[in-house]
Amino acid sequence: MTYKVAVLMGSPNDAEKMAPAAETLNRYGIEANVFVMSAHRSPDQVSKFAKSAREEGYVAFICGAGMAAHLAGAVAAHSTLPVIGVPLSGGAINGWDSLLATVQMPKGIPVATVAVDGAMNAALLVVEMLAVTDSSLAEELDVHREEMIPKDSQ
């Protein structure tokens, strides 16, 4: 089965911090399409994309943004696909503002949230969600976990 995930970031400056999301998805054979769109500078673009994503074949969103970090919430407001927010470091309090903004969603509009700059974990969370019904991905995740065990502890 082929899957497609949208990896969104609020600014081109976020590309380095969000790269591990696409890299991790690609490792599992999941197509990662990367976009730059801002909840504040291009809200109509965000809304239109989120509303059409399911029809376009997407299965989830990974949204990275700093400071006010409204991108994940703006996407979640317009789609029932899973949204994983990646709060990004920077700004006056180095990502704590982004973390709090991303995790504090109103009831009924969930956004899963990972650690500050946790793009790789966001991608792994998407893979785990897909692995609920895809045994091939579940097996690949098992292999990945085995590879993480230090060799001297086996």
Tell me the three state secondary structure of residue 32: strand
* CATH code for the domain of 137: 3.40.50.1970
pLDDT of res. 1: 75
Q: How many domains does the chain have?
A: 1
Tens digits of residue pLDDT in 41-67: 999 999 999 999 999 999 999 999 999
Q: How far is residue 84's CA from residue 143's CA, in Å, rounded to a whole number?
A: 23
Three-class DSSP category at 63? strand
Q: How far apart are CA 113 and CA 148, in angstroms?
A: 23
Residue 152 pLDDT: 75
Which pLDDT belongs to residue 48?
Answer: 98
Segments in the chain below pLDDT 50: none
For residue 147, the enclosing domain spans 4-153
